[in-house]
Amino acid sequence: MCRIKPAFFRGHAPVLGILRGIPLSAVEPLAETSIRAGLGALEITMNSVDAPDLIQALVKVAGDRINVGAGTVLSMADLNVAVAAGAAFVVSPVCDPELISAATQMGVDVIPGALTPSEIQLSWRSGASIVKVFPAARMGPDYFSELRGPLADVPLMAVGGVRPENAGDYLECGADAVAFGGSIYRSDWITNQNYDQIETELGRLVCAVDESQEK
């Protein structure tokens, strides 16, 4: 069952990359590396230094090849700045119905964070495009199997602790998408411009996701 709009991931793997605290000089190589690896979406977190400039740069580099958004959106001010910078979607670690409603009225996809069934249902009924189950690592892939009983139609994204070794497990257990950040976009690799290693790990993660979808 496909619960997520295909356009969100541009027809690529249902994988969202989270870029936090990166330098402006790293935007283009990270974008190109992520696109080559087959990612469908990238976000710049709003608690990054110069986040609006980073989002604008990423939008310019990415064009229509990958969906670009803003993460760690916690307030209406964050939302307004993110959308003005060109974010096509926003992600939050919390469920804020007012923020969700405002984002949908602006015409951008919104991915609120939730953990319990009640929070997930509230997020979905408030207008979420996908619900970010966070922190997924604390619950594990089996948690998604449990959620699928009562919440069969709600699109879920596993966020927190996702790695190439376990990404497929989350999808096989009921997640529709996964997101990752520092497990592959490591600060030391970025500082040392080790983009080949990043691309290798991205490829492993996307491969795991693709294989899980074929089962």
Cα–Cα distance measured from residue 215 to residue 201, given in angstroms and rounded to the nearest whole number: 22
Q: In terms of DSSP bridges, do strands 39-45 and 13-19 run parallel, antiparallel, or are they unpaired?
A: parallel
DSSP-assigned states of every residue in 50-66:
THHHHHHHHHHHHTTSS
Q: Is 132 a catalytic residue?
A: yes
Query: Which one of the listed residues 5, 28, 32, 43 is annotated catalytic?
Result: 43
Nearest to 206 by CA among 26, 1, 41, 72: 41
Q: Is 201 a catalytic residue?
A: no
Query: Which one of the listed residues 119, 132, 172, 201 is annotated catalytic?
Result: 132
Torsion of CA 92, 94, 98, 100, to 10 degrees: 40
Give Cα separations from 197 to 30, 41, 105, 207, 208 (angstroms): 11, 20, 40, 15, 17
Q: Which residue has the tokens 């804020």?
A: 96
Give Cα separations from 55 to 60, 87, 175, 178 (angstroms): 9, 7, 27, 21
Catalytic residue numbers, as ranges: 43, 132
